[in-house]
Structure 1
Amino acid sequence: MGIFFTGFIIFLGLIILISGIFTVKQQTSAIVERFGKFNSIRNSGLQFKIPVFDKIAGRINLKIQQLDVIVETKTKDDVFVRLKISVQFQVLKLKVYDAFYKLENPQDQITSYVFDVVRAEVPKMKLDDVFERKDDIANAVKLELNDAMIDYGYDIIKTLVTDIDPDVQVKAAMNRINASEREKVAAEYEAEAERIKIVAKARAEAESKRLQGQGIADQRREIARGLEESVDVLNNVGINSQEASALIVVTQHYDTLQSIGEETNSNLILLPNSPQAGSDMLNNMIASFTASNQIGEEMKKQNKLRGITNKKKSKPKNIDLPSSEENDDEYRSEE
């Protein structure tokens, strides 16, 4: 009986001894209390406590943690939007006591501050500004949280606005606006391209007309030179200018008839085809030229007479006045 009791005491002592040994993981702190009162903070490694008297009240994670908070609020232009705020925080190693004993639920505390800051900042902005200034919102949340949580042993490492989700109808409207803007830009580019094409086409047509007119002028100039050479050749063989002109007109008349007859798709054209027709055309031309020359000569004569008359009218007349001595002599003789 004595041996059994001794063995039991030894076994109980070993259990009690073993219960006083514990380990703490890396980046973790353990809170040890004695009879319900704070005793010490134990860091990573093998640790000892007094069995029965001491107990581990809790463990604090010293790693950087992240808390995602979704906040729904309204912008300045009355658009409801959901923002996802990611808060990265860490317990300060020197303030483990405050982090453990001052806050019952630190994540709820952080969430409350995030809601307060976001709902104070976003209503000051329009929806487009929320997207453009999301970093400003994140910085405001970080500044507010740092001031509030540092007293509780928490350090706010960084805050991020990871998502901005407007109402479904608002997103659809924004997509339509974006599509309309892109269509507008595309229409402007298409109009500009069409304008460039029209301008280029007009310039090409203008250049074509200019070259065409120049070609016609060159053609007529060469025709006139050919006619002049033809008349000179005919004059050299004893044919006067009037006969030479008649011969050229008749020749061109028959050349025209021949070219029209050679065309397969030519339209109906009525022209005099007798040899006398060419002579009549030439006589009419000569008669019109003669009448024109006579009218021109008559106009020149009339203009010349008018010029002489105007010169006579504009020339001042010289009037000889008697001298003062002659006037005195005439006055004496009358006396």
Structure 2
Amino acid sequence: MDNIPIYVILFFAFFIFLSSFFTVKQQTSVIVERFGKFQSIRQAGLQLKIPVVDKIAGRINLKIQQLDVIIETKTKENVFVKMKVSVQFKVIQTNVFDAFYKLEYPHDQITSYVFDVVRAEVPKLKLDDVFERKDDIAIAVKRELNEAMTTYGYDIINTLITDIDPDPQVKNAMNRINAADREKSAAEYEAEAQRIRIVAKAKAEAESKRLQGQGIADQRREIARGLVESVDVLNKVGINSQEASALIVVTQHYDTLQAIGADTNSNLILLPNSPQAGSDMLNNMVASFTASNQVGEAMKNAKKRAPKEEFNRPDYHKLTEPKPEDDTPPENKV
């Protein structure tokens, strides 16, 4: 011992002194063993142990951890899907001993339970139901894990199904089905819109025709009223009704010709179109009105004079027919 330098002894003493102290981080527990046997659980802070005799066996993380498990399974209609299940768990602080000594590989244990539950639940469901009821599957996984992992000192905080990925061919088929359904809905909406447009157009046309007919009726009513007033004015100056009607027709005829002639873009041609033609038309109308009045008066007088039996004889009407009117135009008569 005398040959060992004093500074070596001091160095070893200082090393042993420092190894007596250790620190534990927050949200962490340390397992201390003495000669291979469990001694104590140390929490956060500065801790003391016997050098060489006591040993730190392990550290337990008390924070919430997440384990992502990817599982491939099939649905009720034999469609294979890949599911990603995220398990959030932590070690119960009061059960650190069980978590450290009872379970060697906690991640593998949790993964096995997730596989078992998912492959028991998903084959009962169709693919569409898997998407709709993923929360039910997650709840079943959490319930099964809690029952199993609580014994080992682990608390399952939550389980989430974060991804459901069907086979690519199935996914493409689902996309085509959805696209076809959307196209069908779009076609139905377009047809309904077209029907509404057609109905609205038909109602508008019907209303337009009704208003147009009402306008034409009002126009004709006003024309007839104007003609009646015109005939009354002409009667007051000594022109009878037949001549007044003929004069009005001729006046309208020339008014029409004037309106057509005023339009420079008109291609309409009226034949014949001469003063003599207008005069002939006026004479013919006057003669027709006069003949019609004469026939009517003769028929009335005959009915008054002749007995009913004689009036019904076949040759009676021949005797009462008026004599033919002279066809000589008025301007050629003396």
Q: TM-score scaled by structure 2?
A: 0.77
Report deviation, 1:106.
0.5
> Are 1:144 and 2:148 an aligned pair?
no
- Give the counterpart of 2:284 among 280, 283, 306: 280
| Structure 2 counterpart SS, 1:190 | helix
Report deviation, 1:10.
5.6
CA change 1:10–1:266 in 2 (3 A) is closer
In the alignment, the residues of structure 2 paired with residue 293 and residue 57 of structure 1 have an alpha-carbon distance, to the nearest angstrom, of: 143
Report deviation, 1:83.
1.4
Encode CA deviations 1:29-83: one digit per residue, 9 max, x unaligned.
2222222222222222222333333322212111111111111111223322211
Partner in structure 2 of residue 184 of structure 1: 184
Report deviation, 1:171.
2.8
Report deviation, 1:142.
0.8
In the alignment, the residues of structure 2 paired with residue 293 and residue 22 of structure 1 have an alpha-carbon distance, to the nearest angstrom, of: 145
> Are 1:93 and 2:93 an aligned pair?
yes
In the alignment, the residues of structure 1 paired with residue 181 and residue 297 of structure 2 have an alpha-carbon distance, to the nearest angstrom, of: 73
User: 2:238 is aligned with what amino acid?
Assistant: G
In the alignment, the residues of structure 1 paired with residue 278 and residue 165 of structure 2 have an alpha-carbon distance, to the nearest angstrom, of: 95
Report deviation, 1:220.
1.5
Partner in structure 1 of residue 226 of structure 2: 226
CA contact under 8 A between 2:69 and 2:84: conserved in structure 1? Answer: yes
In the alignment, the residues of structure 2 paired with residue 214 and residue 135 of structure 1 have an alpha-carbon distance, to the nearest angstrom, of: 69
Partner in structure 1 of residue 75 of structure 2: 75
CA change 1:51–1:245 in 2 (3 A) is closer
Partner in structure 2 of residue 38 of structure 1: 38
Kindly report which structure 2 residues correspond to 1:114-193, keeping only aligned pairs within 5 A, or say none.
114-193=114-193
In the alignment, the residues of structure 2 paired with residue 21 and residue 250 of structure 1 have an alpha-carbon distance, to the nearest angstrom, of: 134
In the alignment, the residues of structure 2 paired with residue 66 and residue 148 of structure 1 have an alpha-carbon distance, to the nearest angstrom, of: 17
> Are 1:239 and 2:243 an aligned pair?
no
Where in structure 1 are there 5+ consecutive unaligned residues?
297-335
Report deviation, 1:274.
4.3
Partner in structure 1 of residue 24 of structure 2: 24
Mean Cα displacement is larger for which, 2-11 or 244-253?
A: 2-11
In the alignment, the residues of structure 2 paired with residue 106 and residue 256 of structure 1 have an alpha-carbon distance, to the nearest angstrom, of: 108
CA contact under 8 A between 1:16 and 1:51: conserved in structure 2? Answer: yes
Partner in structure 2 of residue 267 of structure 1: 268
CA contact under 8 A between 2:260 and 2:266: conserved in structure 1? Answer: no
User: 1:211 is aligned with what amino acid?
Assistant: L
| Structure 1 counterpart SS, 2:159 | strand
In the alignment, the residues of structure 2 paired with residue 37 and residue 7 of structure 1 have an alpha-carbon distance, to the nearest angstrom, of: 35
CA contact under 8 A between 1:249 and 1:282: conserved in structure 2? Answer: no
Report deviation, 1:292.
9.3
CA change 1:236–1:8 in 2 (3 A) is closer
Report deviation, 1:17.
4.0
Report deviation, 1:130.
2.2
CA change 1:19–1:258 in 2 (3 A) is closer
In the alignment, the residues of structure 2 paired with residue 66 and residue 227 of structure 1 have an alpha-carbon distance, to the nearest angstrom, of: 101
| Structure 2 counterpart SS, 1:2 | coil
Kindly report which structure 2 residues correspond to 1:238-317, keeping only aligned pairs within 5 A, or say none.
238-263=238-263, 264-270=265-271, 273-281=277-285, 283-284=287-288
CA change 1:83–1:271 in 2 (3 A) is farther
Identity %: 71
Mean Cα displacement is larger for which, 135-144 or 248-257?
A: 248-257
Report deviation, 1:27.
1.6
User: 1:265 is aligned with what amino acid?
Assistant: S
| Structure 1 counterpart SS, 2:83 | strand
User: 1:121 is aligned with what amino acid?
Assistant: E
Report deviation, 1:165.
1.9
Mean Cα displacement is larger for which, 18-27 or 115-124?
A: 18-27
Q: Number of residues paired by the alignment?
A: 297
CA contact under 8 A between 2:73 and 2:80: conserved in structure 1? Answer: yes
Partner in structure 1 of residue 112 of structure 2: 112
User: 2:133 is aligned with what amino acid?
Assistant: R
In the alignment, the residues of structure 2 paired with residue 294 and residue 147 of structure 1 have an alpha-carbon distance, to the nearest angstrom, of: 124
Q: TM-score scaled by structure 1?
A: 0.77
CA contact under 8 A between 1:35 and 1:54: conserved in structure 2? Answer: yes
In the alignment, the residues of structure 2 paired with residue 163 and residue 17 of structure 1 have an alpha-carbon distance, to the nearest angstrom, of: 54
CA contact under 8 A between 2:243 and 2:286: conserved in structure 1? Answer: no
Alpha-carbon RMSD across the aligned residues, in angstroms, is 3.1
> Are 1:102 and 2:98 an aligned pair?
no
Encode CA deviations 1:244-267: one digit per residue, 9 max, x unaligned.
233333333333344444444243
CA contact under 8 A between 2:28 and 2:61: conserved in structure 1? Answer: yes
Partner in structure 2 of residue 302 of structure 1: none
